[in-house]
């Protein structure tokens, strides 16, 4: 390489990426007493246009929902008409998890009718593809941190996962119910 400055910048980037990878592989979260205030759901920071990035909703926390992609819109349409879903919310940007590679904001929090699926809370990240090859490295790292975060704080009552559709959501819930049932039976 004939440019020493470019070499130093490239080398530093590679070293930092590898350092972040090692940190994330060994990350742990501890449950704290701090909680988010409900004002994160009442701050009027959302702006959208119907049909462009907003839609009417029946089971959403608000009468309207802002979405970031056609995949999110399709997912919201499915959960909004689902008999199993009691209420859901597209999580605001002010709700985030701290990770070594930056703040991470999951997409959804979903509550189900008790007795229909025997699982109450689900926090979801919607992606157009479930292939880890399609995720950017930093995004995949944040998702891995979120998995560890929710594993530490949920005591099994909250499930976090990456999904691409309502069908995948319901499949993951049924898997979660089955694995909890097996642990209880042991």
* CA distances from residue 44 to 21, 48, 57, 151, 163 in whole angstroms, order as listed: 37, 12, 17, 31, 28
Contact 121, 109 (CB under 8 A): yes
Predicted local confidence at residue 185, as pLDDT = 39
**CATH number 2.70.50 is the correct assignment for the domain at 4-185:** no
Enter the pTM of the model.
0.68
pLDDT score at 80? 94
Identify each DSSP E strand in the chain by its residue range. Answer: 54-56, 64-66, 85-90, 97-99, 102-104, 108-112, 121-126, 158-163
> How much is the pLDDT for 19?
72
What SS3 class is residue 163? strand
CA angle 129, 131, 134 (to 5 degrees): 75
- Residue-level pLDDT at 56: 92
Q: What is the pLDDT along the chain (186 residues), one digit of tens a residue?
A: 688 898 888 888 778 777 766 666 666 666 667 666 666 666 666 677 887 888 999 998 888 888 888 888 999 999 999 988 888 888 888 888 888 878 888 888 888 877 665 455 677 677 665 455 455 777 788 888 888 888 887 766 777 888 888 888 888 877 776 655 334 434
Q: Where are the domains of the chain?
A: 4-185
Q: Report the C-alpha gap between 65 and 75 in whole angstroms.
A: 12
Give pLDDT, residue 149.
83
* Residue 22 and residue 34 in contact, taking contact as beta carbons nearer than 8 Å: no
The CA distance from 45 to 128, in Å, is 26
What are the structure tokens assigned to 39, written together? 């004002």
């Amino acid at each position: 390489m004939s440019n020493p400055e470019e070499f130093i910048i490239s080398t530093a980037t590679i070293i930092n990426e590898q350092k972040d990878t090692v940190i994330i592989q060994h990350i742990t979260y501890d449950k704290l007493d701090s909680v988010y205030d409900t004002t994160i759901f009442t701050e009027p920071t959302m702006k959208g246009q119907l049909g462009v990035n907003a839609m009417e909703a029946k089971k959403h926390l608000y009468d309207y929902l802002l979405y970031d992609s056609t995949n999110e819109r399709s997912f919201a349409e499915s959960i909004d008409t689902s008999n199993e879903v009691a209420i859901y919310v597209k999580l605001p940007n002010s709700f985030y998890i701290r990770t070594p590679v930056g703040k991470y904001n999951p997409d959804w929090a979903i509550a189900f009718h008790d007795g229909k699926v025997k699982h109450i809370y689900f926090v979801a990240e919607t992606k157009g593809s479930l292939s880890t090859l399609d995720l950017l490295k930093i995004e995949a790292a944040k998702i891995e941190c979120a998995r560890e975060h929710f594993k530490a704080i949920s005591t099994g009552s909250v499930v976090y996962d990456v999904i691409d559709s309502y069908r995948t959501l319901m499949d993951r819930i049924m898997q979660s119910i089955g694995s909890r049932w097996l642990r209880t039976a042991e």
